[in-house]
């Protein structure tokens, strides 16, 4: 045991340097009012008061509703996919899982540019619709574009934990359900789905957290028309320069994430998070 | 007891072009405890799964209560299964596991509760309703699995090696208990095991199988005393199997000696095999025996000694309550009714 403990120490150092210190800085900035400077700053809750401004409040609600919508869509698309994958034998399953994760290996910017190419006014989608004689649709720089981007981006994070859960299920449980009189639908709702709940919760929470804190996709596919929390934070730090306010918003987001992860740890101690 | 609850007619089944059941013919009477016995891989589970509806035979009929149910899905069959590894639902407590079938059938809450509690009492798990499955021992999980199946009042209970995961002592206890439960609920049990002792001590009827073929069907006593062939004789218990010539009815010759026996109906001078159970060899002073042999090994087995004797033609295994020094010369004789003559098994 001792032996292993000493191997952890570099990680502790690393965590201290790159996680703990920045987190303390965020706390300090969030509760002060001196802008960039820390020397002539005093304790203040102004940044939090500022969040109640309806402009920012809209960003919060938009972020959460986008997060919820993205999560639900990922769940309704991802669950059947994960379920479908478990129907193959193990070797094929491995390959299929690899295929679903391929997008994760491609740079996020490239992927997002690809979406711009597809969704823009004279992009692939509209050319295709034109061939069918349906008028062009303008979805680039709308919530729809952002949602499509987010769903496609986070789908693997929904499929993986659900598939993990489902593939752990002993097939004889399903036979037991049939044996006890369950038809296919009942066997699914009462046994398969219940068995996969830890995986579903895992996927739901991870997807939701990533969706509410996303900023590259909403920025590029939303084109500034569709600001989410991540964009708000980015803007405050990079273009507006109001570090105190940016830090306060980051802190709220961090608290939501930590709360969600500790909840997840409680319900599914050996999950993937 | 002539009526048949289940009848399997000419059942064959292959997996990947490998035939694992050859032309199985079997009927099962109401309220009987029937055991499928055979070495691992002989097709016992496959037969059970065909009756349960989890596997479809390639050809043949499965008749249940006079109707062919070969195409009926499992949930429409009046059969419940106790699975080999129990297959309890890990996300439900004991009560909900047992209530599963009743909930599916929309039995009222009050009725469900009454029947589940009754069933838990029957299997000796009163007060365990709220327990989680992973808080139960193997034996307790086993009982939950039995209760979960029986609460649906099936006409037939299928049990696939349900005791194989238990240790020897618990296993013995559960054997008695299962038998008791079967008597009490009065339904047909089809039980699968590869343990001959278990099969003999629990069953009304034993079906001995090998390589997808039924070797013999009979009561435990029949199977033990009158094995039809060498495979059954060897599988069912330790025995001396000796090539012999059936000189005429009631007279068989082996190891150079003629023996009176009680078997008849063989061709004159037919080549046969004789089964002698170790406990049936009578050991005497050399001058009184039909065969003489020398003790080469003796092992204490608790109630008796097991002795290996070397004769002119072969080694014999015998059981006795008396101790004999290694090197002692003894005579061996067998009373006619303990000599069992079998047709020679065709080599497979
Ligand atoms: N689903 C299956 N696919 C391929 N082969 C199988 C399958 N189920 C059983 N078998 C084969 O059929 C034979 C009989 O199996 P089984 O009925 O399980 O035997 P037992 O229960 O007597 O041990 C074995 O050789 C086994 O490998
Ligand atoms: Mg088996």
Using an 8 Å Cβ cutoff, are B239 and B277 in contact?
A: yes
Residues 6 or more apart in contact with residue B318 via CB below 8 angstroms: B278, B279, B281, B283, B306, B307, B309, B332
Q: How many domains does chain B have?
A: 2
ipTM of the modeled complex = 0.82
Instruction: Look up the domain containing B16 and give its range.
Output: 6-230
If asked whether residues B106 and B220 sit together in one domain, one would say yes
For residue A5, the model assigns a pLDDT of: 65
CA of B160 to the centre of ligand 2 (A): 7
For residue A271, the model assigns a pLDDT of: 58
Residue B152: its chain A contacts at CB < 8 A?
A: 180-181
> For A238-246, which contacts have Cβ atoms below 8 Å and span 24 or more sequence positions?
A241/A35, A241/A36, A242/A35, A243/A29, A243/A35, A243/A36, A244/A29, A244/A30, A244/A32, A244/A33, A244/A34, A244/A35, A244/A44, A244/A46, A244/A47, A245/A47, A245/A50, A245/A51, A246/A29
Q: What is the pLDDT of residues B42-57, one digit of tens each?
A: 999 999 999 999 999 9
Q: Can you give the CATH number for the domain in which A171 is found? A: 1.10.3720.10
Using an 8 Å Cβ cutoff, are B12 and B22 in contact?
A: yes
- The residue out of B230, B248, B282 marking a domain boundary is B230
If asked whether residues B185 and B288 sit together in one domain, one would say no
Say which DSSP state B290 is in.
Answer: S
Q: Which two structure tokens, joined as six digits, stand for B341?
A: 């003559």
For residue A273, the model assigns a pLDDT of: 52
If asked whether residues B84 and B155 sit together in one domain, one would say yes
Task: Kindly state whether residue A36 falls inside one of the protein's structural domains.
Answer: no
Is B101 in contact with A180 (Cβ distance < 8 A)? yes
φ/ψ of residue B211, rounded to 5:
45, 45
Chain B: closest CA distance from residue A239 (Å)? 51
φ/ψ of residue B198, rounded to 5:
-60, -45
CA of B160 to the centre of ligand 1 (A): 13
- The residue out of B210, B230, B250 marking a domain boundary is B230
For residue A134, the model assigns a pLDDT of: 83
How far CA A230 is from CA of A209, A224, A226, B28, B225, in Å, comes to 11, 12, 11, 70, 83
Closest CA to B160 of B20, B18, B36: B36
For residue B245, the model assigns a pLDDT of: 94
Chain B: closest CA distance from residue A201 (Å)? 15
Torsion angle, alpha carbons of A174, A180, A185, A187, to 10: -30
Burial class (CB in 10 A: 0-12, 13-18, 19+), A191: buried
Using an 8 Å Cβ cutoff, are B272 and B244 in contact?
A: yes
Residues 6 or more apart in contact with residue B118 via CB below 8 angstroms: none
Instruction: Look up the domain containing A68 and give its range.
Output: 48-267
If asked whether residues B224 and B305 sit together in one domain, one would say no
If asked whether residues B258 and B297 sit together in one domain, one would say yes
The set of protein residues with a Cβ atom below 6 angstroms from ligand 1 is B 15-16, 20, 38, 40-46
Query: What pTM, to 2 d.p., does this model score?
Result: 0.82
Angle at Cα A230 formed by Cα A229 and Cα A232, nearest 5°? 60
Using an 8 Å Cβ cutoff, are B94 and B128 in contact?
A: yes
Q: Which two structure tokens, joined as six digits, stand for B283?
A: 């050991």
Q: Can you give the CATH number for the domain in which B196 is found? A: 3.40.50.300
Residues 6 or more apart in contact with residue B133 via CB below 8 angstroms: B88, B89, B90, B92, B93, B94, B97, B141, B144
Task: Kindly state whether residue A61 falls inside one of the protein's structural domains.
Answer: yes
Pairing of strands B188-193, B33-37: parallel
Task: Kindly state whether residue B115 falls inside one of the protein's structural domains.
Answer: yes
Q: How far apart are CA B81 and CA B70, in angstroms?
A: 17
Whose tokens are 């479908």? That residue is: A84
Using an 8 Å Cβ cutoff, are A179 and B154 in contact?
A: no
- Segments of chain B with pLDDT less than 50: 1
CA of A170 to the centre of ligand 2 (A): 16
Give every strand in the sheet of B257-260, ordered side by side: B257-260, B251-254, B240-248, B270-276, B340-343
For residue B147, the model assigns a pLDDT of: 95
Closest CA to A207 of A160, A175, A164: A160
CA torsion sign for B323, B329, B334, B340 is: positive
Q: What is the pLDDT of residues B231-243, one digit of tens each?
A: 999 999 888 999 9
- Segments of chain A with pLDDT less than 50: 1
Candidates A89, A177, A181: best to mutate against B (most CBs of B within 10 A) is A181
């Amino acid at each position: 045991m001792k032996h292993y403990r000493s191997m952890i120490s570099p990680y502790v150092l690393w965590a201290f340097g790159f996680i703990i210190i920045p987190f303390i800085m965020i706390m300090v900035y969030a509760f002060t009012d001196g802008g960039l400077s820390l020397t002539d700053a005093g304790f203040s809750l102004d940044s939090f008061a500022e969040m109640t401004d309806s402009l920012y409040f809209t960003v919060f609600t938009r972020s959460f509703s986008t997060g919820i919508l993205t999560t639900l869509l990922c769940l309704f698309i991802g669950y059947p996919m994960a379920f479908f994958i478990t129907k193959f034998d193990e070797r094929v399953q491995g390959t299929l899982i690899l295929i679903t994760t391929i997008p994760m290996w491609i740079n996020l910017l490239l992927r997002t540019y690809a979406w711009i190419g597809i969704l823009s006014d004279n992009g692939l989608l509209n050319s295709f619709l034109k061939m069918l004689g349906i008028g062009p649709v303008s979805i680039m720089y709308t919530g729809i574009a952002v949602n499509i981007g987010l769903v496609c981006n986070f789908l693997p994070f929904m499929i993986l934990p659900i598939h993990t859960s489902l593939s752990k299920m002993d097939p004889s449980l399903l036979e037991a359900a049939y044996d006890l009189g369950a038809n296919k639908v009942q066997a699914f709702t009462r046994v398969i789905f219940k068995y996969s709940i830890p995986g579903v919760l895992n996927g739901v929470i991870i997807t939701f957290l990533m969706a509410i804190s996303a900023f590259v996709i909403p920025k590029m596919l939303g084109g500034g028309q569709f600001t989410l929390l991540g964009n708000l934070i980015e803007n405050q730090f990079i273009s507006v320069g109001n570090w105190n306010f940016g830090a306060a918003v980051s802190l709220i987001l961090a608290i939501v994430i930590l709360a969600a992860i500790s909840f997840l740890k409680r319900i599914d101690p050996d999950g993937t998070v | 007891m002539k009526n048949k609850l289940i009848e399997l007619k000419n059942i064959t089944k292959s997996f990947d072009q490998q035939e694992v059941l050859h032309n199985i013919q079997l009927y099962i009477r109401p309220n009987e405890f029937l055991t499928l016995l055979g070495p691992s891989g002989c097709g016992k589970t496959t037969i059970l799964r065909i009756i349960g509806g989890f596997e479809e035979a390639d050809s043949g009929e499965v008749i249940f209560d006079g109707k062919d149910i070969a195409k009926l899905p499992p949930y429409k069959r009046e059969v419940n299964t106790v699975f080999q590894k129990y297959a309890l639902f890990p996300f439900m407590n004991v009560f909900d596991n047992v209530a599963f079938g009743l909930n599916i059938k929309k039995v009222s809450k009050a009725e469900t509760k009454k029947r589940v509690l009754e069933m838990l009492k029957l299997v000796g798990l009163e007060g365990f309703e709220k327990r989680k499955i992973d808080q139960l021992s193997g034996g307790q999980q086993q009982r939950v699995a039995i209760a979960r199946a029986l609460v649906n009042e099936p006409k037939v209970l299928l049990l696939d090696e349900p005791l194989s995961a238990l240790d020897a002592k618990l296993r013995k206890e559960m054997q008695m208990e299962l038998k008791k439960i079967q008597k009490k609920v009065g339904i047909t049990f089809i039980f699968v095991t590869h343990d001959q002792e278990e099969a003999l001590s629990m069953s009304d009827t034993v079906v001995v199988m090998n390589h997808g073929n039924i070797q013999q069907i009979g009561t435990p006593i029949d199977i033990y005393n009158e094995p039809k062939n060498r495979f059954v004789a060897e599988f069912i218990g330790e025995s001396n199997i000796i090539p012999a010539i059936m000189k005429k009815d009631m007279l068989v010759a082996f190891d150079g000696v003629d023996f009176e026996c009680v078997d008849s109906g063989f061709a004159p001078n037919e080549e046969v095999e004789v089964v002698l159970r170790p406990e049936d060899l009578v050991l005497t002073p050399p001058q009184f025996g039909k065969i003489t042999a020398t003790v080469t090994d003796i092992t204490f087995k608790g109630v008796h000694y097991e002795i290996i004797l070397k004769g002119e033609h072969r080694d014999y295994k015998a059981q006795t309550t008396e101790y004999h020094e290694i090197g002692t010369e003894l005579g061996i004789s067998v009373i006619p009714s303990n000599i069992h003559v079998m047709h020679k098994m065709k080599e497979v």
